[in-house]
Chain A
Amino acid sequence: MRGGGWARSRILGLTLFAAAIFTFGLTVHSGYLLGMAVLIALHALVALGLGLLMGWAGQISLGHAGFYGLGAYASAILTTRFGLNPWLALVLGAVGTGLIAFAVGKPTLRLRGHYLAMGTLGLGLIIWTVFNQAATWTEGPSGIRDIPVLSLGGLALDNDQRFYWLIWPVVLVAVMLAGNLINSRMGRALRALGENEGAAAAAGVDVARAKLGVFTLSAVLASIAGSFYAHYVTFVNPSPFGFALSIQLMTMVVVGGEMTVWGPLVGAGVLTVLHQVLAISAQRIPAMEGLEVVAYGAVLVIFLLFRPQGLVAPLRRRGAPPRAAEPPAPRADEVVGEAS
């Protein structure tokens, strides 16, 4: 019965989502709004993978901007230097990024604690330094331009509208696959992980392998999003792929809520819109100028204070502690003490 209910709500969710994509795409013709929608989609793809990692494997990553950048640079270099087909470049980039993530995840994910966070932090910054320094390949800080646009069946996806119709269906498929994953055997293992790593291990779940799998998957998703970014903007330089973006992506997941596939999507949308609202208000009223950055941070802090579980909280898990990953609910015991 539970399985049936889940499937029904999932189908409903996906249908509504698809309908929303179609309605927006058909009714909106403003390049600005479509452009924003594309940016949201790109970030949502990365956030989706990050959400799986955070919500279902209880790990955080501070280096996903690096994986996003690896995809972008792989596409940029392979297409402009070697004239590779953009789609092939996208796949190669994703495979390469996956291998790198695997290599870094394997040793760090064996450990308990937030070692993956530290490892990815280091990795992200190393990748960023390489983008800047390996000028023979990356052209350094001044970046690679004239990256070809993607084309589908002879149709060049060279404007916001066309790109919208590519990227949002991709997001839809990614959400669908993520949903499948959560419901699969591996998904159940991951959920067990989120709840109690020790119990999961005792029940025969290969904890390290499951974590490594989801981490690699999230890196691959980030790389694919990065490739799309490169072909959308047709220019890449290192600065968008720094530490700040890694943090922004994490923020999207936390704000959206990490226990459902929809949370990261909502987070990406809300934060991008918030950014724009603040930018527009700074443009309109001089007193707001410079304040928009402060306001962004303040909104984030206040939001987390009042809704730490994220906008899209999981329905079935209400009442359960948000997540009992390590360190094992350090504050819960004190709350009990305070209340009594």
Chain B
Amino acid sequence: MHGPELLQYLITGLTQGAIYALVAAGFNLVYAATGIINFAQGEFVMLGGLLAVTFVAWHMPLAAAVLLPILVVMAVGAAVHWFAIRPLRRAHVVTLIMITIGVSVVLRGAARLIWGADSHPLPPFTPGDSIGLGGATVQPQSLWIVGVTAVAGVALALFFRRTLMGRAMVACALNSRAARLAGIRVDRMNMWAFAFAGGIGALAGSVLTPMTFTSYDVGTLLALKGFCAAVLGGIGNNMGAVLGGLILGVVESLGAGMFSGYKDAFAFVVLLLVLFLRPAGLLGVGLRRDDQ
């Protein structure tokens, strides 16, 4: 394997990994707040991409077409929590996970009705040829993806450390009863967790779509990979999500360059290895008290 090739694998892997990191961050938000593995996370990504496609088709400026889906999917996320999760606080976590699966089926089916079964393209954020870099090439959209992930990662970190709401969410995750006694409205915080998960999913969907395409059924695989990334980094841990995503992306990219047939299995082999050798993930599980 030569230098330029290796570089190309790295570039591809980092781009891909950035997407996984965004999806993983969405998983973490919900997991940290509620202990639920939200299987509708992939559908948030799908909705973000498809809404962006529609808004572009409505001749909205690209920036608006990309940002507006974030708000819409945030509302979807909040609605999912309010109507499907909140009424069942008494139920066991497994039941809630099954509910998110049901929600994902509904969202996917609805998306098929609205957008059909075909894939849809989206123009790149900045037009132009790919950039040469030491014998490898970088698509401008790759830079957008990596950049957006970096900004989102920093914003999340600041949000949890510096803002009242972020700290309230952390408190809910650590000990919801104590948080309630301290006057935090746990329900509302959980709703926001779902809303933010929706927003970050939509963001991932709309930055990803120009590189690849999107269709009503892209969510499942992305969710599975994102979930692997979250476990790899340490579920609930946001820095872990970024690290896990990037590692997964690079491993997959190198794997695809060697034996592409088993490429998808790599992510899951990595997942199993982590579970066997270091189940808390690379950076340790995040906020939830239950798993300590």
Answer yes or no: A and B touching, Cβ < 8 Å. yes
Please measure, in the bound complex, the distance between the C-alpha atom of A113 and the C-alpha atom of B236, giving whole angstroms: 13
Q: Is A24 interfacial (CB 8 A cutoff)?
A: no
Convert B250-282 into 0s and 1s, putting 1 for each residue whose CB lies closer than 8 angstroms to a CB of A. 000000000001101100110110011001000
Contact status A308-B272, CB under 8 Å: no
Determine whether B108 belongs to the interface, using a CB cutoff of 8 Å to chain A. yes
Residues of chain A within 8 A (CB-CB) of B231 are: 118
Q: How many A-B residue pairs have CB under 8 A?
A: 153
Pairwise interchain contact B102-A300, C-beta atoms closer than 8 A: yes
Task: Decide: A327 and B112 in contact? CB cutoff 8 A.
Answer: no
Q: With the chains together, A251 CA to B99 CA distance in Å?
A: 9
Q: In the complex the two chains form, is B265's CB within 8 Å of A126's CB?
A: yes
Q: Which of B101, B176, B265 contacts A333 (CB 8 A)?
A: B176
> Which of A103-111, A148-156, A173-181 contacts the other chain?
A103-111
A118: which of B87, B177, B275 is its contact (CB, 8 Å)? B275
Task: Give which listed residue, B37, B87, B176, B291, contacts A112 with CB less than 8 A.
Answer: B291
For residue B246, CB closer than 8 A to chain A, the reply is: no
Closest to B230 in A: A118
- With a CB–CB cut-off of 8 A, which chain A residues contact B105? 293-294, 296-297, 300
Docked pose: A121 CA to B291 CA in angstroms: 19
A157-165, A183-191, A219-227, A318-326: which one contacts chain B?
A318-326
The digit string for B89-112, where 1 denotes a CB below 8 A from any CB of A, is 111111101110111111111101
Pairwise interchain contact B224-A243, C-beta atoms closer than 8 A: yes
Query: Is A115 a contact of B109 with CB atoms below 8 Å?
Result: no
B228 touches A326 (CB 8 A): no
**From A104, A112, A334, residue with most partner B Cβ within 10 Å:** A334
Within 8 A of B (CB), among A129-151: 129-130, 132-133
The interface size of chain A toward B, counting residues with CB under 8 Å, comes to: 55
Can you list, as one digit per residue, whether each of B213-237 has a CB less than 8 Å from chain A (1) or not (0)?
0000000100010011001000000
The answer to the question of B118 belonging to the interface, with a C-beta cut-off of 8 Å to chain A, is no
Closest to A329 in B: B92
- A198 interface hit (Cβ, 8 Å): no
Chain B residues touching A, majority SS = helix
CB distance from B163 to the nearest CB of A (A): 23
CA–CA, A291 to B105, complex, Å? 11
Q: Given A122-B228, A297-B106, A300-B105: A254 and B94 within 8 A (CB)?
A: yes
Chain A nearest CB: distance from B60 CB in Å? 27
Judged by a CB distance under 8 angstroms, whether A2 is at the interface is no
Cα separation A334 to B184 with both chains bound (whole Å): 12
B89 lies within 8 A of A291 (CB) = no
Q: Which of A118, A129, A291 contacts B271 (CB 8 A)?
A: A118
A322 touches B291 (CB 8 A): no
Point out the residues of chain A lying under 8 angstroms from B155, CB to CB: none
Determine the chain B residues whose CB is within 8 A of the CB of A337 once the complex forms. Answer: 177, 180
Residues of B within 8 A of A129 (CB): 261-262, 264-265, 268
Task: Scan residues 73-101 of chain B and give those whose CB is less than 8 A from a CB of chain A.
Answer: 84, 87-95, 97-99, 101
B290 engages A126 (CB within 8 Å): no
- The answer for the CA separation of A293 and B104 in the assembled complex, in Å, is 11
**In whole angstroms, what is the CA distance A250 to B96 when docked?**
12
Contacts A115-B275, A122-B268, A301-B103 given; indicate if A331 touches B290 (C-beta within 8 A): no
- Shortest C-beta distance, A136 to chain B (Å), equals 12
User: Of B35, B108, B109, B272, which contacts A122 at CB under 8 A?
Assistant: B272
CB distance A305 to B90 under 8 Å? no
Q: A119-B275, A125-B264, A304-B98 are in contact. Are A297 and B104 (CB under 8 A)?
A: yes
Give the nearest-CB partner of A326 in chain B: B290
- Give the chain A neighbours of B261 by CB distance below 8 A: 129, 132-133
Residues of B within 8 A of A332 (CB): 90
How many Å lie between the Cα of A301 and that of B89 in the bound state? 14
The answer to whether A301 touches B99 (Cβ under 8 A) is: yes
Give the residues in chain B near A280, CB-CB below 8 Å.
none
- B47 interface contact, C-beta 8 A: no
Q: How far is the CB of B113 from chain A (nearest CB, A)?
A: 5
Complex contact A293–B265 (CB within 8 A): no
Q: When A and B form their complex, which 3 residue pairs have the shortest distance between CB atoms, in order from nearest?
A: A297-B105, A327-B290, A293-B109
On A, residues with C-beta under 8 Å from B are 54, 60, 104, 107-108, 111-115, 117-119, 121-123, 125-126, 129-130, 132-133, 243-244, 247, 250-251, 254, 290-291, 293-294, 296-298, 300-301, 304-305, 308, 322-323, 325-335, 337-338
